[in-house]
Amino acid sequence: MILVTGATGKFGSKAIDHLLKKGVRPSEISALVRNAANADNLKNRGIEVKAGDYTDYDSLVKAFQGVDKLLLVSSNDRQAVENRTAQHINIIKAAKEANVKYIVYTSFVRKTNFEDSSIAAFQNSHAQTEAYLRSSGVDYTILQNGIYLEMIPIFAGEKVAETGVILFPAGEGKASYVLREELAEAAAHILTTQGHERQIYSLTNSASVSFSEIAKAIGYQLGKDISYESLDVDIFESKMKQFGVPDLYIGMFTMWALAQAQGTMDVLNNTLEGFLGRKPTTMSQFIAQVY
């Protein structure tokens, strides 16, 4: 039995789709969800839905009974990044207690000198989870997933076609963006093939891109000029405030922009291509699909 956590989320639901596409029977898949009311489409496909919360240890031990392999989709807790670490540790502990044999964890791409990055707190949470998992005694595979291509329209702004400008303080820094669905497909590949125990995979694209290149690709697709302005952080933040963007999001945008400026996610690797058996979707292909 394979259990997928975060199964009503975007990554977990796609991972389940790909497990099914790879021929895993619905009766061999179970899904951990917080709210079973959102899981009708899983139930309708014959997947066992188990209620559980990353913060509720007993619910996890109960949900993990009879599970051999676990896909641990990392938490999206927005209160404090330390909450995520505690939740991940809860899941690993509970899995061990329930006698789960193998855990695949969705981590985030990381360079060795990540402590200087603007996203160091996130990186640190993943590093701590990885360390806990590696010493847990449960077999594991760590997926250091690259930044999602799906973040680009969020960073570029929903009105980019109207305004003709992307405001984002990422300088000319580059990042290796990957399609979330292809990362989910890779997770399903790992859960259904042999030889991945105790491996740490960096799953990124084979080219990194800057926001100048992203603006050019969006402009090409829309048939109009789209410019890119990397504003000073203070100016960027005050403009976002003027546009009514909530403080939490302004902080997030700034953090991710600076991480891109610093090259934190500029990691190239062809492991994902090997798992997919084809080239991962590029930034230009993604832009052509979305805009």
Ligand X SMILES: NC(=O)c1ccc[n+]([C@@H]2O[C@H](COP(=O)([O-])OP(=O)(O)OC[C@H]3O[C@@H](n4cnc5c(N)ncnc54)[C@H](OP(=O)(O)O)[C@@H]3O)[C@@H](O)[C@H]2O)c1
Query: Interface mask (CB under 6 A) for ligand X, residues 156-185, using x and -?
Result: ------------------------x-----
Return the residues of window 102-141 that contact ligand X according to CB under 6 A.
106, 108
According to the binding rule CB under 6 A, does residue 148 interact with ligand X? yes
Secondary structure letter of residue 185 according to DSSP: H
CB 138 within 8 A of CB 178: no
Minimum distance from CB of 223 to ligand X (Å)? 29
Secondary structure letter of residue 165 according to DSSP: E
The three-state secondary structure class of 23 is: coil
Stretch that binds ligand X, among 3-11, 19-27, 222-230, 274-282 (CB under 6 A): 3-11
The only residue of 18, 34, 50, 174 in contact with ligand X, by rule CB under 6 A: 34
Minimum distance from CB of 262 to ligand X (Å)? 16
According to the binding rule CB under 6 A, does residue 285 interact with ligand X? no
Minimum distance from CB of 199 to ligand X (Å)? 19
According to the binding rule CB under 6 A, does residue 145 interact with ligand X? yes
According to the binding rule CB under 6 A, does residue 53 interact with ligand X? yes
Closer to ligand X at the Cβ: 63 or 219? 63
Q: Can you tell me the distance from the alpha carbon of 201 to that of 270, in angstroms, rounded to the nearest whole number?
A: 10
Return the residues of window 213-272 that contact ligand X according to CB under 6 A.
none
According to the binding rule CB under 6 A, does residue 87 interact with ligand X? yes
The tokens describing 10, both together, are: 């975007």
Q: What angle do CA 102, 280, 249 make, to 5 degrees?
A: 80
The only residue of 2, 3, 4, 11 in contact with ligand X, by rule CB under 6 A: 11
The only residue of 4, 8, 169, 175 in contact with ligand X, by rule CB under 6 A: 8
Closer to ligand X at the Cβ: 151 or 200? 151
Q: Which residues of 186-211 are buried (b: 16+ CB within 10 A; e: fewer)?
A: bbbbbbeeeebeeeebbbbbeebbbb
By rule CB under 6 A, what count of residues binds ligand X? 24
The tokens describing 109, both together, are: 């791409």
Q: Can you tell me the distance from the alpha carbon of 173 to that of 213, in angstroms, rounded to the nearest whole number?
A: 11
CB 19 within 8 A of CB 191: yes
Query: Which residues, in sequence order, are bridge partners of residue 209?
Result: 175
Query: Which residues, in sequence order, are bridge partners of residue 206?
Result: none
According to the binding rule CB under 6 A, does residue 96 interact with ligand X? no
According to the binding rule CB under 6 A, does residue 207 interact with ligand X? no
Secondary structure letter of residue 243 according to DSSP: T
Q: Which residues of 222-242 are buried (b: 16+ CB within 10 A; e: fewer)?
A: eeeebebebeeeeebbeebee
The only residue of 2, 4, 18, 54 in contact with ligand X, by rule CB under 6 A: 54
CB 119 within 8 A of CB 259: yes
Closer to ligand X at the Cβ: 54 or 102? 54
Closer to ligand X at the Cβ: 150 or 229? 150
Give the footprint of ligand X on this chain (CB under 6 A): 6, 8-12, 34-35, 53-55, 73-77, 87, 106, 108, 145, 147-148, 151, 180
